[in-house]
Structure 1
Amino acid sequence: MQTMSIHIHPIPMGMGIAYLIESAAGLLLVDAGLPHWEQAVLRRIHALGRKPGALQLIYITHAHLDHYGSAAALRRASGAPVVIHRADADAIARGRTPLGSIRGRGWLLAALLPLAERVLRPEPTLPDILCDDGDALDLDLPFAATVLHTSGHTPGSSCLIVEGEGDQDRIAFAGDLVSNTTHPHGQRYFAHDWAILHHNLARLQALHPQWVYPGHGRAPLDDATLQRLA
């Protein structure tokens, strides 16, 4: 495997952020934003001088509509398969957003969810590939991409760990396990199991990624910041 040489393009997708990982060999997308935001990704692909067919895979970190909403439309445009952890496969296939236990400001967001589902109509998306903890994605790209199952926020929440050859060539795409909106913090609004969520945050911290790209908030977190989260 060659030394990792990639560019990461954050793309605002309504409520959250999708990440387009660019290499000379092709593209990988992490998360797909709200429904009807697929043009934001397609415009970025075209701005890079690429065609949608350069997209090799659409990786969804968890089954919430602000992360998988445009996945089906992007699959149609690019031909890229949609990948998600098997524990969230049923929810995304039914176009659902399971919230679990709610804390703090999450009650306001939960109250708005039925309206958002009626207005946005998230498209049920049958995944092409179901992944498990430790799976290495089959990609023709100059880096390794491995699944870290970080159940807690949803049963199938996961991070994508992207690595080159060196210890400093490790970055993580964390979905909603961490956020960096007003300030860096761990998930504090929704979880199907809070204890497991905190356990899996510690698993991510133990990997000491150089950078962590959150599902909300455009600035990545460095490892020192990640270690301070609880």
Structure 2
Amino acid sequence: HFYTKELDQGLALFDTGPPTDEGKQALLEHVELERLKYIFITHCHVDHYGLADFVSQNSGAELYIGRRDALKLSRHRERLVAIASLLSGLGFSDEFIRKLRESFSQNKVFPGMPLNYRVIEDSPEVRDLGISWISCPGHSQSDIVYLTGDYAVTGDLLLRNIFQAPLLDIDLETFSGRFRNYEAYCSSLLSLSRLQGYKIMPGHRHYVVSLDEAILFYVRTMLERALQVFRYKELPMPELIDRLFKGRISEPFFVYLKLSEVIFMLDFIENPDLLKLSLQEIGLFSRVDDLFTRFV
């Protein structure tokens, strides 16, 4: 979804939708680009910022993205090389990596990059618009929650009955080693708990039942899938993926998505107490403690 808000200073857009003909048509039907002054992106995944360049060029609106997303855009080629190195280190062949790059192109993972944007972390003027933000990395490295009035625009962080898999990526701060999605998610749970009382505006589907239910669905799904991964955790990664999904997944892009999810689960298996402590702090551990007994 994308959302709009009438500010005293003009019209603001939160996310843009995907760079498809249908996405562009929906945007043009519901957003008056000539009136648009601001664009705020929750995270630079294609279905959320895919039309950012188009909207920027056709509106003159100021575009705001997260700092790590800015690094991702400005160091795009270097990032792809680094991801290839990560995959090679996990045991994937050069042929797989080559096909994955081709798959990225076929699936239009990287849309046209906007030439001009501002980094939200370096933009204190945004608060003068009546908008604040919270950094909640985990699904991506730059997940931003935007707060305006009683509303919280949460991107892919809080969804109803959708497990938003974290993505394997290089650490965009250091370009050394992978980003630790699991550790980031455990930390971000404490930030997400601050959204009690806000109306959640999710990136997919029309509503969430509640903040707690969205978090609990994610945690329960993760724990159930982690139990499946646990059986194969000693296997080399390509073999683990093949055994876990019984050879049903072979297209490199989808292997990459499942690999990202599996690594998240393995990080949890290695340190389940990290998630336990976060859930205890936000008062939700008692509702999943039966699932935790399998790991601790």
TM-score by length of 1: 0.67
CA–CA distance in structure 2, aligned partners of residues 146 and 93 of structure 1:
25
- Aligned match of 2:3 in 19, 44, 47? 19
Structure 2: segments with no counterpart, 5+ residues: 87-98, 169-178, 220-296
Measure how far apart 1:91 and its partner are: 2.1
Measure how far apart 1:136 and its partner are: 5.8
Equivalent position SS for 2:42: coil
- Aligned match of 2:199 in 192, 211, 228? 211
CA gap 1:32/1:69 in 2 versus in 1, 3 angstroms = same
Measure how far apart 1:175 and its partner are: 1.2
CA–CA distance in structure 1, aligned partners of residues 102 and 49 of structure 2:
17
Q: Which residue of 2 aligns with 1:31?
A: 15
Q: Which residue of 2 aligns with 1:67?
A: 48
CA contact (8 A) 2:146 2:153 kept: yes
Measure how far apart 1:215 and its partner are: 1.6
Q: Which amino acid aligns with 1:177?
A: L
Q: Deviations over 1:14-72 (max 9, x none)?
A: xxx21222457632111112114333212112xxxxx4232121111112111111001
CA–CA distance in structure 2, aligned partners of residues 44 and 61 of structure 1:
19
Structure 1: segments with no counterpart, 5+ residues: 1-16, 46-50, 102-110, 164-168
Q: Deviations over 1:133-159 (max 9, x none)?
A: 99561565xxx2112111222222211
Q: Which residue of 2 aligns with 1:166?
A: none
CA–CA distance in structure 2, aligned partners of residues 88 and 162 of structure 1:
22
- Give the alignment's Cα RMSD to 1 decimal: 3.3
CA gap 1:133/1:215 in 2 versus in 1, 3 angstroms = farther
CA–CA distance in structure 2, aligned partners of residues 38 and 27 of structure 1:
18
CA gap 1:56/1:138 in 2 versus in 1, 3 angstroms = farther
Equivalent position SS for 1:132: helix
CA contact (8 A) 2:66 2:121 kept: yes
Point out the structure with the larger helix share. 2
Kindly indicate whether residue 121 of structure 2 is the aligned counterpart of residue 132 of structure 1.
yes
Q: Which residue of 2 aligns with 1:82?
A: 63
Q: Which residue of 1 aligns with 2:36?
A: 55
CA contact (8 A) 1:134 1:147 kept: no
CA gap 1:42/1:123 in 2 versus in 1, 3 angstroms = same
Equivalent position SS for 1:179: coil
Q: Which residue of 2 aligns with 1:179?
A: 159
Equivalent position SS for 1:160: strand
Equivalent position SS for 1:154: coil
- Aligned match of 2:132 in 146, 151, 166? 146
The structure 1 segments of at least 4 consecutive aligned residues displaced by more than 6 Å after TM superposition are 94-98
CA gap 1:225/1:119 in 2 versus in 1, 3 angstroms = closer
Q: Which residue of 1 aligns with 2:184?
A: 196
Equivalent position SS for 1:178: coil
Equivalent position SS for 1:156: coil
CA gap 1:172/1:128 in 2 versus in 1, 3 angstroms = same
Equivalent position SS for 1:40: helix
Q: How many residues matched?
A: 188
Point out the structure with the larger strand share. 1
CA gap 1:139/1:219 in 2 versus in 1, 3 angstroms = same
Q: Deviations over 1:68-104 (max 9, x none)?
A: 1100101111111111111111323567898x89xxx
CA contact (8 A) 1:95 1:123 kept: no
CA contact (8 A) 2:158 2:215 kept: no
CA–CA distance in structure 1, aligned partners of residues 18 and 158 of structure 2:
19
Q: Which residue of 2 aligns with 1:123?
A: 112
- Percent identity of the aligned residues? 26
Q: Which amino acid aligns with 2:202?
A: P
Equivalent position SS for 1:87: helix
